[in-house]
Amino acid sequence: MIKIYPYKDLGTADYGWLNAHYHFSFAHYHNPSRIHFGKLRVINDDRIAPNTGFDTHPHQDMEIITFVRSGAITHKDSEGHEGRTEAGDVQVMSAGTGIFHSEANKEETETTLYQIWIFPREKGVKPRWEAARFADRKANGSLPLLVSGRTEDDGKGALYIHQDARILGGQLDKGHKLTQEILEQGYLLVSNGEITLDGQRLEKGDGAEITNQGSVEIEALTEAEIILIDVPK
């Protein structure tokens, strides 16, 4: 079963420096029917103005994944980690027992990103942060694996999270078709372009829940970039 959530119908917030679209309840946006999707708690589609960002703030017991779509974000945290993540790259942070961090757009242009929160399978882990550049993100038969906490994915080059979930993402040329396996249940995001998902049209910014089926058929109607979050119920 597929249920589409158009970009125009998402929750919104405009703080001047930050323009956000919320796929689930977050901050001042509350939708009782959109609290979480299995172990997936947050997807924020953020646009961050130049030379602004999220000031230092705390987190605990959450896996926080950032997929940078354009520009770059600079991370700094209380564990001594610091790094700059550019467009197309991914960073993960396990908040665990507690961590303070800031996320700054130190660029002269707007930065756009997806902020994804996933509930961990165990609480109280040691806080950690890492980032990676995925040089080849072209889809070829299936979407490239970016993030995973599944034992089966050890050694596949994915960033690690403390949950039996995985995030795949990649670029599709116009006309490219693929069959993507769904292990648990999926939430698909169209980062750029237009696609069909089992024949249903999605555009840039749209999201879709995928439940009770083991695969989906994806076709790129234009050059496109998509992300698939495959999470336990």
Q: For a pLDDT cut of 90, what percent of the chain falls above it?
A: 95
Q: Which two tokens stand for residue 33?
A: 């029917």
pTM of the predicted model as reported, rounded to 2 decimal places: 0.97
DSSP 8-class letter at 126: P
β-sheet bridge partners, residue 49: none
pLDDT at 135: 64
Phi/psi at 166 (5° precision): -145, 150
What are the chain's domains? 11-132 (2.60.120.10), 145-231 (2.60.120.10)
* Residues ≥6 apart with Cβ < 8 Å to 200: 2, 4, 208
Regarding beta strands 200-203 and 72-77, do their DSSP bridges make them parallel or antiparallel, or are they unpaired?
unpaired
C-beta separation of 144 from 170 below 8 A: yes
**Residue (of 29, 7, 70) closest to 207 by Cα position:** 7
Q: Which two tokens stand for residue 200?
A: 């249903």
Rounded Cα–Cα distance for residues 194 and 188 (Å): 13
Q: What is the pLDDT of residues 21-70, one digit of tens each?
A: 999 999 999 999 999 999 999 999 999 999 999 999 999 999 999 999 99
Q: Which two tokens stand for residue 12?
A: 């919104």
Q: What is the pLDDT of residues 171-228, one digit of tens each?
A: 999 999 999 999 999 999 999 999 999 999 999 999 999 999 999 999 999 999 999 9
Binned at pLDDT 50, 70 and 90, residue 157 comes out as: very high
C-beta separation of 76 from 107 below 8 A: no
β-sheet bridge partners, residue 3: 209
Q: Which two tokens stand for residue 218?
A: 């994806």
